[in-house]
Amino acid sequence: MKATQLKLNRKTALKGAILFIASLVMVSCFDDTKTTYDDTVDIPVNQEMIAELTSPPHVPTPVGRRKAKKLVVKMEILEKEGTMTDGVTYMYWTFGGTVPGSFIRTRVGDEVEFHLQNHPDNKLPHNIDLHAVNGPGGGAESSFVVPGHSKVFSFKTLNPGLYVYHCATAPVGMHIANGMYGLILVEPAGGLPEVDKEYYIMQGDFYTKGANGERGLQPFDMQKAVNEQADYVVFNGKVGALTGDNALTAKVGETVRLYVGNGGPGLVSSFHVIGEIFDRVNVEGGSLVNENVQTTLIPAGGAAMIEFKVDVPGTFIIVDHSIFRAFNKGALGMLKVEGEEDKKIYSGEIRDDIYLPEGPGIQSMPTTDEIIASEVPAKSFEEQMEFGKQTYMQTCFACHQSEGQGIPNAFPPLAKSDYLNANVDRAIGTVLHGLTGEITVNGEKYNSVMTRQMLSPDEIANVLTYVYNSWGNSGKIITSEMVEKVKNQK
């Protein structure tokens, strides 16, 4: 019995040893294979396919677990006039007809055959420098193409990451400043982890002969560009490209991945989503991952992959946190999230209390009866205009801007305002009592908050007279008596 048991133990031990040696051999083969395939130059290409290209903010289908292929990219250069903001147009130079250019999605080991086509109606030669390319000029030396011609070159995708591409024809800065940039994604073997939503955003700075908001077709201003004095800093080529009906969307509980680039040519982006924290950021589009990030720097000519889960509903504002660029120059977008609220995460407003530092007793909000005028009453129309302008610059300028143009999708214009000119008493009441809720001004809807202004009746009369007699408005003159009448209405 003992001899039989000994034989069984020996057999078991021998079998275990064989399995152990076999496993070592298998591991060794896997490591050898992995070592071979780490050299991405040698990843074989198994067949040809036409690349799917998409316009912003959309991205192509993820590569998933597909094998490396010969990927044919056909991209057309178009010089075309487009809208920068309401009443302002610009002659954009584009890859694929959009700013930024078409999104290109590849995987490590792909052999990309790139066809760069310059439309015969264009005026200028162009080329393309892809930061994902290992080769002279990122492809620029092989792709210089005149109108009516097409250039073809190829490259192997060696490094996973998110990369910028742009035109590199002299003067390089001018071609980039006119909108010639985009993103190319090189996914790792096996693809990126799945998410619910993916979007393509790219920031750019624009330099125009006219000031911000000056109407008409605006030409490029080289001196402003050299001085990096941008008139517009925008997402996806124009003011409002990601707001209103163009806002990005998601549902509560979904994971969002943003592919964010910065075409520049001059300014670094401080990218931020108000009310969200980035769970993961692939810093500069590479392999380094940063977690729990509030704002991430994206250099000119750089990119970042940003992921976060949306936990509560609402409209989340996307900005360059160099904040005047957002609210004054256009670098502002929206992510609209639908779904059920979660009061454990965010309560919303619980109550609106009165706070005065004099003590804990019950207080009441001050009225205009308690407000002391900051100046003597105006004695003439000219003085009303002078005093009114002073009040406007101190009180109204930040939201409504120097020429009454407002801030698109945030604060309505006062210039040629149908809402303002239609009802003087309503305008007075707005300054006296504030205004909340949706309104329509010159055909556009706004839903911001204007707090009541702590101004005396004389100051209100002066500032409204200044507004009504500026920027194409009706020319009405407002008196302190008119203000008192509205104030005393119930």
Tokens in use for 137? Answer: 């000029």
Strand-strand pairing, 216-218 and 88-95: parallel
Classify residue 212 by burial, with Cβ atoms within 10 Å: 0-12, 13-18, 19+: buried
Q: Please check if 149 is assigned to a binding site.
A: no
Query: How far is the C-alpha of 433 from the C-alpha of 440, rounded, in Å?
Result: 19
Q: Please check if 131 is assigned to a binding site.
A: yes
Check residue 42 and report its DSSP letter: G
- Going across the sheet that includes 302-309, the strands are 232-235, 197-206, 255-264, 302-309, 278-282, 289-293
Q: Please check if 115 is assigned to a binding site.
A: no
E strands present in 310-371: 314-320, 332-338
Give the orientation angle of helix 480-488 with respect to helix 457-468, to 10 degrees: 110
DSSP-assigned states of every residue in 275-324: T--EEEEEGGGSS-EEEEESEEEE-TTEEEEEEEE--S-EEEEEEESSTH
DSSP H helical ranges for 354-479: 381-395, 397-400, 418-422, 424-433, 457-468
Q: Please check if 180 is assigned to a binding site.
A: yes
Residue numbering of the annotated binding site: 126, 131, 166-167, 175, 180, 321
Pick out the residues of the known binding site for Cu cation: 126, 131, 166-167, 175, 180, 321
